[in-house]
Structure 1
Amino acid sequence: MPHADWSSFSFDGIGTHWEISTPEALGPAVRHQLLETVSDYDTTYSRFRPDSLVSALSREPGRITLPGHAAALHDVYAALYRLSGGAMTPLIGSSLERLGYDPGYTLAPFGNPQAPPRWEDVLEWAGTALTATEPVVLDVGAAGKGQLVDLLGGVLQSTGHSEFLVDASGDMLHAGTHPVMVALEHPYDPGQAIGTVELNNSALCASASNRRAWGDGLHHVLDGTTGRPIHTTVATWTMAASALVADALATALFMLEPVRLQDEFDFSWLRVSSSGAATFSHRFEGRLFT
């Protein structure tokens, strides 16, 4: 939790609740810049709004030019797509929509699970240039919220705020000289915690299959090679220097053993399996409750 005497700026954006805590209240200009950054990200990447940049590619093939920060998003997705053999992919949107997680939130499948097209068959993404050779439903939600957390942290730093906590409903970025203690939500009981961790000039992100679940065993973490929900893991937490990396790896831990990720990424982790067993890295400096 942030310090009791800190000021808080709360708002909703990209389908989630945000809270930005700072020692002193943010001025109107900074608040406006933060809200504009969220709005710009949403109008670029949201598959839930027909006027977004990526939604154009769901209607017809073509080429779009993404913002400069898309290059970092590409690099993380490309690495995890390769490491997971296609299980983690930015093309998972069509599979999610088929299961009912669509712009209308119908939450009713209209067919059996189906894998999305393979990246190498339909998508060319180099830096900010993205070309689809057939209509595709892009969904960068497995890493995008984390990147947006980082972008808001950048806004705060560029406006002279060196101490802050950006909290996007559990995906967090901390900066400053006063660490904060964060409770880790129990995957089966949101009112309880399974432990705590100290966040100190780093990011903490989580992924849980119970957060967006509907129907009979359906949730938002899918295997891109099958289009089916993953049921072996129920919750993950990761800590890394950036929220982009932490967010992406929190999802990747549903699909990959941590050792595969640790060869290419510097992070610590905690994972809870569907059996309730918790495993964690030796660098995950948290405390689990018994």
Structure 2
Amino acid sequence: MADLHETLPHVTAFPGALGGGILVHTATAVTPAVHAGLASIIEGVESALSRFRPDSLVSQIAHAPYGGRFTFPDWTAAMFECYDGLAHATGGRVDPCIGEDLVRLGYSASFDCIADGAASDAMRAPARSSWTRDIKREGTTLVTHGPVRLDFGACGKGLCVDLLAAALTASLAAAAGDGPAFAIDAGGDITVRGPNPPAAIALEDPHDVRLAIGVAHIADASLCASAPSQRHWRDAAGNRVHHLLNALTGAPADDVAATWVRVPAAGAAYPTMLADGLATALFVTDPGRLAAAFPIFDCLVLDEAGHLKTSARFPAELYTAVPERPM
């Protein structure tokens, strides 16, 4: 993130958090007590939602031969509701039950490929389970009838950022005067609160991560990006595959190269979670259809042919050809 070092000079790092690490930018140094509180939030999210931790609730569901009742923390209620909305708006193309397909494609903690050809079969096979059909939800309790591999990657990291932002807001409010100023950077998921002028955030070129296609200017909002450039590998047949799947086919989406979504902090209770989920949904669903269900967001979509679509209010300066307006 650019232009934050002067306004938010103190950086607190959580290396390896959620797989890629988290940086917290603040105007004053974070106290040990606040640091411990933030670390506890990250641990709580990972212990509930991580697909790679054997002790997580998600792993318990995946290895329950007869299913069962699994009660998640209260903060997951909003995430489950968000998945309900995304599943409906995308016609089932966004579904946390893609975990089964990700495993068959070879997406492990180390991105190891499956060596027996099962990955190629996953390019054709539908998801084994459906969030809306096979999972019964009672508040934050999920009821299953057999093993289900869930992957909450579309919204989980964004939700963690929002939980961290809420904790920082509460801890910094007393000393903030006009309001707390901070930024949280969890890789592709960023929330910025307070800095003036807005933070300038580079929009990474998905075809060359050393370059940017433009700069977004973000203040009191969340910006989430999604692209296969950082998470792709080869399956057993040598095909390039990635983690952004169409849940109806179980195969990676191949029409979109990258997406960026901005949600105002005041526009949603969990703006980063919503932006995170929508950035994934844009790989498999037209922006106009999503805008009808979630009118609060602005976005930029780059397809594999190099064409750009952007909503009129997306706050970016682009270095490429003039995009289509409106979506």
Fold shared per TM-score above 0.5? yes
Structure 2: where are the runs of 5+ without partners? 174-179, 265-270, 321-327
- The CA deviation string for residues 144-184 of structure 1, in whole angstroms up to 9 with x for no partner, is 10111101101101102510000001310111142211110
Q: Does 1:288 align with 2:318?
A: yes
How far residue 49 of structure 1 moved from its aligned partner, in angstroms, is: 1.1
Q: Which residue of 2 aligns with 1:82?
A: 88
8 Å contact 2:3–2:199 — kept in the other structure?
yes
1:241-280 matched pairs, under 5 angstroms? 241=264, 242-265=271-294, 266-280=296-310
1:32 aligned residue: 36
C-alpha contact 1:196 1:288 (8 A) present in aligned 2:
yes
Aligned with residue 195 of structure 1, among 198, 209, 214? 214
Describe how 1:181-192 pairs up with structure 2 within 5 A: 181-192=200-211
User: Residues of 1 paired with 2:171 and 2:130: CA distance?
Assistant: 41
For structure 1, the 5+ residue unaligned runs are none
Please list every run of at least 4 consecutive aligned residues from structure 1 whose deviation after the TM superposition is greater than 3 angstroms: none
Query: In the aligned structure 2, how far is the partner of 1:199 from the partner of 1:146?
Result: 16
Residue of 35, 46, 53 corresponding to 1:49: 53
Give distance in 2, aligned partners of 1:2 and 1:104: 34
In the TM superposition, what is the alpha-carbon distance from 1:284 to its structure 2 partner? 0.6
Q: How far apart are residue 88 of structure 1 and its match?
A: 0.4
Q: 1:103 to 1:285 in 2, by over 3 A?
A: closer
What is aligned with 1:115?
A: 126
Matched ranges for 1:26-175 at <5 A: 26-60=30-64, 61-103=67-109, 105-108=111-114, 110=116, 111=118, 112-113=121-122, 114-116=125-127, 117-161=129-173, 162-175=180-193
| Cα distance, 1:95 vs structure 2 | 0.3
**Which residue is 1:4 aligned to?**
5
Report deviation, 1:68: 1.0
* TM-score computed with the length of structure 1 as normaliser: 0.97
Task: Give yes or no for contact 1:48–1:102 (8 Å, CA) kept in 2.
Answer: yes
- Partner deviation per Cα, 1:83-142 (whole Å, 9 max, x = no partner): 212110011100000000024632236411132212233211232111111110111001
Aligned-partner Cα distance in 2 for 1:34–1:80: 28
Q: Which one has the bigger strand percentage?
A: 1
- Opposite residue 269 of structure 1, the aligned amino acid is C
Question: Residue type of the partner of 2:131?
Answer: W
SS in 1 for 2:95: coil
Alignment identity in percent?
A: 36
Task: Return the letter of the residue paired with 1:270.
Answer: L
Q: Is this contact kept in 2: 1:9–1:19, CA < 8 A?
A: yes
* Mapped partners of 1:75, 1:183: distance in 2: 31
CA pair 198-84 structure 1, distance change in 2 beyond 3 A: same
Amino acid at match of 1:171: D
Provide the residue aligned with 1:217 in structure 2. 240
Greater Rg by CA? 2
Query: CA RMSD for the aligned pairs?
Result: 1.3
Task: Quote how far apart the aligned CAs of 1:2 are.
Answer: 4.6
- Taking structure 1 as reference, are residues 136 and 104 closer, same or farther at Cα in structure 2, changes over 3 Å only? farther
Task: Tell me the distance in 1 between the aligned counterparts of 2:115 and 2:142.
Answer: 29
Aligned: 1:207 with 2:236:
no
Please give the secondary structure, in 1, of the residue aligned with 2:53. Answer: coil
> Contact between 1:2 and 1:165, CA under 8 Å: does it hold in 2?
no
Taking the aligned partners of 2:58 and 2:195, their CA distance within structure 1 comes to 39
Whether the 8 Å contact between 2:188 and 2:226 is mirrored in structure 1 is no
TM-score (normalizing by structure 2): 0.86
**d(CA) in 1 for partners of 2:260, 2:46:** 24
Distance in 2 of aligned mates of 1:79 and 1:129: 18
User: 2: distance between equivalents of 1:207 and 1:160?
Assistant: 30
